[in-house]
Amino acid sequence: MKVGKWMFACFLLVTHCIPSSAQTTTRNRFFSWAEEYIGVVINDRVQFYELDRNDNWVLIPELDFSLPSGHRDIFTWAEEFIGVIFNDRVRFYELDRNNNWVLIPELGFSLPSGHRGVLTWEGELIGVIFNHRIQFYELDRNNNWVLIPELDFSLPSGHRDIFIWADEYIGVIFNDRVQFYEYRNNNWVLIPELNFTLPSGHRGVINFIEYIGVIFNDRVQFYEPYCLK
């Protein structure tokens, strides 16, 4: 199967769904969670939206998550956990049966010095972003985070941001385009047929299932790959 181009998908996370306090934020204020929700960070809490059968985004208030003080960023790990980033560590939270967000202290991750961001690859691996590379860690049976040096990814010069698409690709954002890399035969390989030209006026990019969400001031537009056999 060969990708021909990226096509605009038929649903939007639009202005009337995004509270005004979130409309001027960066990519890190939007993220996907549990494959079917979009989380929107508003001041010190996260609100979650779900796409209904009519392709309307609906607020799910019982999922609201109050962010702890001192947090710097937020991401999804292992589909259903929320990782909250502080200066030197990550704390993980899980939703219990009563829709309460509970801290899971045994999953805590101490961040190495010099980091500038965190992402999740292949569902359960944590990628720590530095200026020129990404290092990956996995959780062992004793709940220790272990470095996997053979997965190191060297960031190309001129990049502006990084995200994960479809769980397995690293999307590297430049000014007006995204390049995708896949881990094949123990090497990171550029996949040029997935190149994506960013529309003008964009402010960031997020992943949502197999879609790319392009963030503008008042909306998120979603794109999917059009595949040619």
3-state secondary structure of 140: coil
DSSP state of 88: S
Instruction: For the domain covering 2-228, report its CATH number.
Output: 2.115.10
Backbone angles phi, psi at 196, to 5 degrees: -130, 125
pLDDT of residue 15: 37
- Summarised one tens digit per residue, pLDDT across range 9-56 is 756 664 334 444 443 334 468 999 998 999 999 989 999 999 999 888
- The answer to whether 49 and 59 have CB atoms below 8 angstroms apart is yes
Work out the number of other CB atoms within 10 angstroms of the CB of residue 185: 5
User: If you write DSSP's letter for every residue of 5-48 in order, what string do you get?
Assistant: EEEEEEEEE-TTTS-GGGTT--GGGEEEETTTEEEEEETTEEEE
Q: What is the CA radius of gyration of the chain?
A: 17
- Summarised one tens digit per residue, pLDDT across range 108-144 is 999 999 999 999 999 999 999 999 999 999 999 999 9
Q: From CA 59, how far away is CA 49, in angstroms rounded?
A: 4
Q: Is the pLDDT of residue 216 over 70?
A: yes
pLDDT of residue 16: 37
- Summarised one tens digit per residue, pLDDT across range 162-209 is 999 999 999 999 999 999 999 999 999 999 999 999 999 999 999 998
- The answer to whether 27 and 163 have CB atoms below 8 angstroms apart is yes
pLDDT of residue 228: 43
pLDDT of residue 13: 64
Per-domain residue ranges of the chain: 2-228
Write down the pTM of the prediction: 0.87
pLDDT of residue 155: 98
pLDDT of residue 11: 62
Q: Is the pLDDT of residue 150 over 60?
A: yes
pLDDT of residue 134: 98
User: If you write DSSP's letter for every residue of 169-222 in order, what string do you get?
Assistant: EEEEE-SSEEEEEEEETTEEEE-GGG-EEPPTT--EEEEETTEEEEE-SS-EEE
Strand partners, 146: 138
Q: From CA 179, how far away is CA 52, in angstroms rounded?
A: 31
